[in-house]
Structure 1
């Protein structure tokens, strides 16, 4: 693949931003779970405990192995084929769930312009799914160029909203007192789930590392740019929400477009809603780019049918994998937004755990191997670092279990499909032995 056909730094930064965040759309439930005093606290603390360790892990492992398949290849080298199958299965399923969220959100923001749109949810979702499939089949560079445009469309409404809000308050907003007082354990768990979901996916962008110009340097700078942009946008939207004087439940039920209308009028609400449409399209396209590379490497190892690794002769894209992923998501759009978030974060956390373990194992197995980016901690320090996101993950899961039966079902469902990875491994071993005998 020639250099001109590879992703450049700004394109990669835009794709990572859309993969991980795509703006604060979907962060609204946090205001209902944590209230005025707890929302900003969870927003600032959770990324430090949940995201920073994940980002550092991704940067070190990707600098060591910038290859197609990303996290799947890291786990395979560190822990072997069995756990590579676990990683591929869990992350494949998590990404399907993640993808299914965005067509649903697309309909929610389209409802700002067309209030009677909900009966047409399924056909609209399918149009988004297959439109993004076509874009991905056309190649990684068209996806990157589109991501830059969509990233601008996502950030512009919030830049205007922040400017108007700060102007009206004389450029100053008082930081609310941080407190979790009055917030039940179940609400805390669901608040954590919401923040975690709005910050996950840093490892997703590594599955196409061989298609990026100067991948080690590009990922280092692109991840840094994306992280800063995400934190700044999230911080200001939550701060303005809790200090705007508008009821938080109104924002939760009507999305941030209602906050835009409250701050600047109907035109600004429409601008924010339009940004939501751009966000969901951009996130879906970027996440599909990452997940479509996973079936290819799993097929290469014999875990999935060989035809999944077929590449388009003209565009050099895994078109069969893209179409297969789109078919699965077309079925999953029937779930609700809340159910999808629970399944999403639960499956993602399991896959992230294997990446943390792989980081430590590779440090022990290959301590002298070149790592252009290396976390400045020894193995003992890495173990302590990993305990931080695991603690957040455990609290979120426990709180979700304590919340309601509506949460219990998708959570248990996610745990069941996680266990199925071992069933798939046993089937793989049986089929391999049988083929050897034949």
Structure 2
């Protein structure tokens, strides 16, 4: 849901606001929220992995260790370089073209994985209405992928008003769910947070689930030049969005624990099953519709925007310019769209949990390069003006960066230990990381021959 809402809201804001001052605090806060979260869809497996005691603890601890360092890094780097291309430009200008390629390549790959997640989610939520649909997962996902590709080649343009409707479809059912839970009349309090008795492999998978539902803060910097007073606006907008994301997740967790739904049922049937318990058929259907609508729209919007990454890389000579050849009639980058659709068609063979492992691993590696960029700039350019500056020394920054890196390592190690179930996606994710160096060497050889 997050990137679709980002795209729609950004579209209507650009149309309505003056060119010099397009995005202000609340407008950007809404975009950041939908970019990072857009609702709790995809958080369902957490209860099964972490249990009732561990779920709350991880929802509190993970944002502090994983998100806060990332947010602070994004704020400082973006205040120094509020440029189109965001994180790719930061890394390239600081660490060089090679690591800029790494950043762009990994971003491209994890976007493929993101694209594969949404058709899978659509099938999951559609099963509320059609229980047998899971048996036809692959053909349905392929139809969604190639229909979305066709629409993007034609040049589909979302309508601005749909942003408000989508927001209601995604968020409103969960607000109703929470209100019903607190007015239920039954006394309930959160269980004491604890990870005692939870296997290490389950902790790793729980971390991946929460991390996936909390990443993407740097994605909102790619249009920083269209934000009014970016340093101040990003600081306030991200703070508002961060608090909102946590609040929404806590509300949903409260409702989940209040009704004491079976973890396996929640994982298999999703939040619609919780809606059935709380409000009956209508609330379960509303949550399902929100999940389906968001997954469809999000896939189309992400596919529409993913062409920006290879375009910037092609401008630097890192990818063939032909990838961005425009369709003679529709003037859309149809070759890039087709390549994306082909790759994503193979990615849907993975399950939702497996895709999350690949997605977070690739994203985490790119985030690590941004951390390195932050520290290198502090050492090499300590006097350069930073409208926002993290109040830490270089040593303090190293400690701050260590926290999300350590969390990332725990999650990856736990995935490898998950009884062999998640071993292959974890290996695939590591291989995808290594592929950046392989393709970099190929690029170097090709450039020498030219």
Of 41, 51, 55 in structure 2, the residue corresponding to residue 25 of structure 1 is 41
Residue 207 (structure 1) aligned with residue 239 (structure 2): no
Q: Where does residue 105 of structure 1 map in the other structure?
A: 121
Alignment of 1:151-170 (within 5 A): 151-169=167-185
Alignment of 1:215-254 (within 5 A): 215-254=230-269
Report the TM-score, using the length of structure 1 for normalisation.
0.90
Q: Where does residue 374 of structure 2 map in the other structure?
A: 359
Question: Which deviates more from structure 2 when the two are superposed, residues 328-337 or residues 7-16?
Answer: 7-16
Question: Which deviates more from structure 2 when the two are superposed, residues 273-282 or residues 89-98?
Answer: 273-282
Q: Where does residue 383 of structure 1 map in the other structure?
A: 398
Give the distance between the partners of 1:34 and 1:155, measured in 2 at CA. 24
Give the distance between the partners of 2:160 and 2:194, measured in 1 at CA. 41
Report the CA distance shift for 1:411/1:144 in structure 2 as closer, same or farther (over 3 A).
farther
* Secondary structure at 2:422 match in 1: helix
Q: Where does residue 302 of structure 1 map in the other structure?
A: 317
CA contact (8 A) 2:178 2:254 kept: no
Shift in Å, 1:419: 1.1
- Could you list the per-position Cα deviations for residues 91-125 of structure 1 after superposition, in whole angstroms to 9, with x for gaps in the alignment? 21112112211110011101111222234434433
CA contact (8 A) 2:105 2:436 kept: yes
Q: Where does residue 121 of structure 1 map in the other structure?
A: 137
Report the CA distance shift for 1:46/1:289 in structure 2 as closer, same or farther (over 3 A).
farther
Residue 45 (structure 1) aligned with residue 61 (structure 2): yes
Report the CA distance shift for 1:358/1:50 in structure 2 as closer, same or farther (over 3 A).
same
CA contact (8 A) 2:169 2:286 kept: no
Give the distance between the partners of 2:204 and 2:148, measured in 1 at CA. 33
Give the distance between the partners of 2:375 and 2:162, measured in 1 at CA. 37
Give the distance between the partners of 1:8 and 1:94, measured in 2 at CA. 27
- Could you list the per-position Cα deviations for residues 235-264 of structure 1 after superposition, in whole angstroms to 9, with x for gaps in the alignment? 111122123233222212211110111011
Shift in Å, 1:67: 2.0
CA contact (8 A) 1:18 1:286 kept: no
Give the distance between the partners of 1:214 and 1:66, measured in 2 at CA. 10
Give the distance between the partners of 1:316 and 1:217, measured in 2 at CA. 37
Q: Where does residue 291 of structure 2 map in the other structure?
A: 276
* Secondary structure at 1:69 match in 2: coil
- Could you list the per-position Cα deviations for residues 282-333 of structure 1 after superposition, in whole angstroms to 9, with x for gaps in the alignment? 5435544653321111111111111334578999976654454344323322
Report the TM-score, using the length of structure 2 for normalisation.
0.87
Report the CA distance shift for 1:278/1:97 in structure 2 as closer, same or farther (over 3 A).
same
Q: Where does residue 5 of structure 2 map in the other structure?
A: none
CA contact (8 A) 1:143 1:286 kept: no
Q: Where does residue 79 of structure 2 map in the other structure?
A: 63
CA contact (8 A) 1:208 1:293 kept: no
Give the distance between the partners of 1:137 and 1:374, measured in 2 at CA. 42
Report the CA distance shift for 1:138/1:93 in structure 2 as closer, same or farther (over 3 A).
same
Residue 427 (structure 1) aligned with residue 442 (structure 2): yes
Q: Which 5+ residue runs of structure 1 have no aligned equivalent? A: none
* Number of residue equivalences: 434
Report the CA distance shift for 1:8/1:131 in structure 2 as closer, same or farther (over 3 A).
farther
Residue 368 (structure 1) aligned with residue 413 (structure 2): no
Residue 175 (structure 1) aligned with residue 187 (structure 2): no
- Could you list the per-position Cα deviations for residues 387-411 of structure 1 after superposition, in whole angstroms to 9, with x for gaps in the alignment? 1101111111111111122211111
Shift in Å, 1:214: 5.2
Give the distance between the partners of 2:133 and 2:225, measured in 1 at CA. 41
Q: Where does residue 82 of structure 1 map in the other structure?
A: 98
Shift in Å, 1:374: 2.1
Give the distance between the partners of 1:82 and 1:187, measured in 2 at CA. 36
- Could you list the per-position Cα deviations for residues 149-192 of structure 1 after superposition, in whole angstroms to 9, with x for gaps in the alignment? 3222200000111111111137x641211111110111111111
Report the CA distance shift for 1:370/1:137 in structure 2 as closer, same or farther (over 3 A).
farther
- Could you list the per-position Cα deviations for residues 120-149 of structure 1 after superposition, in whole angstroms to 9, with x for gaps in the alignment? 434433454456557767989948764443
Give the distance between the partners of 1:62 and 1:72, measured in 2 at CA. 11
Aligned alpha-carbon RMSD (Å):
2.9
* Secondary structure at 2:183 match in 1: helix
Report the CA distance shift for 1:78/1:314 in structure 2 as closer, same or farther (over 3 A).
farther
CA contact (8 A) 2:95 2:373 kept: yes
Residue 198 (structure 1) aligned with residue 213 (structure 2): yes
- Could you list the per-position Cα deviations for residues 327-366 of structure 1 after superposition, in whole angstroms to 9, with x for gaps in the alignment? 4323322321121111111111111110100011122222
